[in-house]
Structure 1
Amino acid sequence: MKILYTSDQVTQRVKDMAQEIINTYPTDKPLFVCLLKGAVPFASQLLTAITEINPAFYPEVEYMHVSAYGDKREASDATTYSSIAENVVRGRDVIVLDDCLDRGFTYQDAKRQLLDQGAVSVKLVVLAHKQTGEPGRETPFLVGFDTPDVWLVGMGMDDAAHAPEAERWASYIGHVSPEQS
């Protein structure tokens, strides 16, 4: 495993992202939707940073269980396992929080569902943005780090092919090579 971004680099970038969100939404507070399970470490750090910078911001967060990987290092089509109550979403600006954007299917699935539930707008804030060259992939509203197209671990990204939840809770972002197991 090779570390791409240290814990200190991640923490500083997340604080910078928190400030950008506060600057973008000074009065109207968006609904944050955390994509489970991967976005939890990132979302926790981001929402904490928002309230430390602006204690009156009061982030509201909901959760959506979406998966594209399972226990492999190969993506399949995204599957949504849970949704959010329509009355919570309707008429709101929504910010989807995700750990990693690679092909974009997970986000597209979540976005479609949130718009169907009446969201005014849906934007993506992602910690890691893989440079895959995927055609037609949507550009995130905010990106923590542009990364190479490699298998990433840490800050919510796991290596379930190695062991359940392996590296998910690490505070850094690293990558493992396909031959590592």
Structure 2
Amino acid sequence: MTAERRIRVLFDEAAIAGRNDEIAQAIAAAHLKDLLVVAILKGSFMFAADLLRTLHRAGLTPQVEFMQLSSYGLGTTSVGQVTMIKDIESDVRGRDVLLVDDILESGRTLAFAKDLLVARGARAVKCCVMLEKPRRRAVNIVPDYVGFPCPDVFVVGYGMDVGHSYRQLPFVGVIED
């Protein structure tokens, strides 16, 4: 059980919903073909679910898969090595893929997933992240769609956690001790 901690809201529900609508419109305007959305678990699950609903409202009918990768373990900083925990089942050859992740920091996780899907023959792999911390980049990857630039703080909520806690929060926030 986690002790109650004060959490300062960075991005509230309304801001997130509005930005998801804008991202969905931009993705729809890209005219991606035979679209497969691959959500990177666990952190992106809330963002991916909301984004998929907004993609539906924008007239898209993507298929959905899940990939679970880890570079954090139970800590708050990346260990620098990406581990595949769960792979997708779909064949990506010749398809447009939209990778959805919660946060782009070092870039290792997203680059690992993108390189893997390209190597498997995806026609195009676009990257969509809820949050981006550009100063933290350790590998060269640029997202195609970004929800919000994020200050260099450890965030929780909207699917993101610390030690498996706070994922349920409907906003993105910072723990203040």
Q: TM-score, with normalisation over the residues of structure 2?
A: 0.89
Shift of 1:117: 1.4
Write the deviation string for residues 123-144 of structure 1: whole angstroms up to 9, x where unpaired: 1100000132525431100000
Which of the residues 67, 70, 75 maps onto 1:64?
A: 67
Equivalent residue number for residue 30 of structure 1: 35
Match of 1:137 in 2: 140
Q: Name the SS for the 2:102 alignment partner.
A: strand
What is the Cα deviation at residue 65 of structure 1?
0.8
Distance 1:29 1:154 in 2: 31
The reply on whether 1:78 has 2:77 as its aligned counterpart is: no
Indicate the SS of the match to 2:135: coil
| C-alpha distance in structure 2 between counterparts of 1:14 and 1:126, whole Å | 11
User: Pairwise CA RMSD of aligned residues?
Assistant: 1.6
Q: Following the alignment from structure 2 to structure 1, what is the Cα–Cα distance between the partners of residues 66 and 48? A: 10
Question: Cα offset for 1:59?
Answer: 1.7
**SS where residue 162 of structure 2 aligns?**
coil
* CA shift for structure 1 position 35: 0.3
Matching residue of 2:46: 41
Question: Within 2, Cα distance between the matches of 1:68 and 1:172?
Answer: 23
Write the letter of the residue equivalent to 1:12: G
Distance in structure 1 (CA, Å) of the matches to 2:167 and 2:52: 18
Residue in 1 that maps onto 2:3 = none
Tell me the residue number matched to 2:24: 18
Q: Which runs of 5+ in 2 are unaligned?
A: 1-6
| Structure 1 residues 59-101: Cα deviation after superposition (integer angstroms, max 9, x where no partner) | 211111101112111211111122223x621111111000000
Identical counterparts, % of pairs: 34
TM-score normalised according to structure 1 size: 0.87
Match runs of 1:1-181 below 5 Å = 1-25=7-31, 28-54=33-59, 57-76=60-79, 77-85=81-89, 88-134=91-137, 136-160=139-163, 165-176=164-175, 180=177
Contact 2:105 2:136 in 1 (8 A): no
Cα 1:15–1:30 change in 2 (3 A) is same
SS of the residue corresponding to residue 158 of structure 1 reads: coil
